[in-house]
Amino acid sequence: MSQVDDIRRQMALIRHEMHYDVSNVVSDVESVMDWRSIIRRHPYITIGAGLAVGYFLVPRRKPATRTVPLPQALAEISPETLAAVIPPVVEASRKAEKPSKPLSRQLLGWGVGMLWPLVGQSVQAYAAMWLEDQIKQHLNPNPKPPGDRVPPSSSGRPGEPYDGAPATRDARRG
């Protein structure tokens, strides 16, 4: 019977160690998956990475190219040719101008422009909470049901039983 007892002790020890190892792995995975803990541990690296990503994502400005005719080239053109060319150019530039939008459309654009960042942030926050809940459920497949919560004590002091009656306090005499 001593060999059977030894095997049982070894199995119990292995089960205990396995539980401890699994608990450590779960806590390590939770800390790795929590993006806030990474920011807390490495704030300067995170800021630098954010700046680098922003630098590479924002498109560069293209220099404005302006073609200005040289005065000498203008002097070589006859006045009759200039008179024939300038009115069509002026008319084409007038046609290219955008007509102004009605006031209601301008106000709608202003309102959407003000509210869109708020909507975007709300959607991001909701998505982050949902993703965190999904990860927590995946890491802890057997959560305690909400009905197992211990109700507070009637007096509000820890350790006192809750009897369902309203809390009463004795008046202090001084």
pLDDT tens, position by position, 163-173: 555 555 555 55
- What does the pLDDT read at residue 34? 83
Q: Which residue's structure tokens are 């309102």? A: 111
pTM (2 d.p.): 0.28
Q: Which residue's structure tokens are 């993703």? A: 131
Cβ neighbours, 10 Å, residue 143: 8
Residues 163, 91: Cα–Cα separation, whole Å: 89
- What does the pLDDT read at residue 124? 93
- What does the pLDDT read at residue 150? 53
- What does the pLDDT read at residue 48? 93
- What does the pLDDT read at residue 2? 85
Q: What stretches in the chain show pLDDT beneath 50? A: 174
